[in-house]
Chains A and B, each alone.
Chain A
Amino acid sequence: MGFLKSYALPRLLQWAVVIAVGTTVTFTIPRLLPTDPVEQTLRRVSTSLLDPRAIETFRATLTDLYGLQGTPLEQYGRFWARLLKADLGPSLGAFPTPVTQIIRDGLPWTIGLLGSATLISWVLGIVVGTLAAYFPRSKWSQFVGGLLVTVYPVPYFILSLVLVMTFAYYIPLFPLVGGATGSPANLGAYVFSILQHGFLPALSLVLGGAAFRFTIARALASGVIASDAVTYAEVAGLPRRRIIFGYVLRNSLLPQVTDLALSIGALFEGALITEFVFSYPGIGYRLYTAILQSDFNMIMGITIFSIVGIATAALLIDLLYPLFDPRVRYR
Chain B
Amino acid sequence: MQQLSGVLRVTRDLYRSSPSFRTGATILAILLAMGVLSLVSPYGPDDRRVVPVDRPPSLQYFFGTTSLGQDVFWLTTYAIRNSLFVAGLAVVIGRSIAVMLGSFSGYVGGAIDRVISGFTDSFIVIPRLPLLILISFMIRGSLNMLGLAVLLGLLDWAWPSKRYRSQVLTLREEDFTKTATFAGMGTLKIILREHLPFLIPFLLADAVSGFLFAIGMEVTLSVLGLSDLGSPTIGTMIYWAGYYQALLTRRFWWLVAPIVTSVLLVVAMYLLSISLGNYLDPRTRLKVLAARSTA
- Which chain A residues have a beta carbon within 8 Å of chain B's beta carbons? 14, 17-18, 20-22, 25-26, 29-30, 33-35, 37, 149-150, 152-158, 161-162, 165, 169, 262, 265-266, 268-269, 272-273, 276, 287-288, 291, 294, 296, 299-300, 302-303, 306-307, 310-311, 314
Contact = CB atoms under 8 A, between A and B. Distances in A.
Interface residues of B, number: 42
Nearest to A13: B118
B290 to A, nearest CB: 12
Nearest to B215: A155
Contacts of B121: 14, 17-18
B178 to A, nearest CB: 30
Contacts of A21: 119, 122-123, 126
Contacts of A310: 125-127
B139 A18 contact: no
Contacts of A266: 127
Q: Which 8 A-B pairs have the closest CB atoms?
A: A155-B216, A153-B266, A303-B130, A153-B270, A18-B122, A269-B129, A21-B122, A265-B127
Given A155-B215, A272-B130, A303-B133, A33 B139 contact: yes
Interface in B259-280: 259, 262-263, 266-267, 269-271, 274
17 contacts: A29-B134, A149-B267, A152-B270, A154-B267, A157-B223, A158-B259, A161-B238, A161-B259, A165-B247, A269-B129, A272-B130, A273-B129, A276-B223, A296-B137, A300-B134, A310-B127, A311-B125
Contacts of A291: 133, 137, 224-226
Contacts of A294: 137
A281 to B, nearest CB: 17
B131 interface: yes
Interface of B: 118-119, 121-131, 133-135, 137-139, 142, 212, 215-216, 219-220, 223-226, 238, 247, 252, 255, 259, 262-263, 266-267, 269-271, 274
B137 to A, nearest CB: 6
B126 A18 contact: yes
Contacts of B128: 265, 269
Nearest to A40: B138
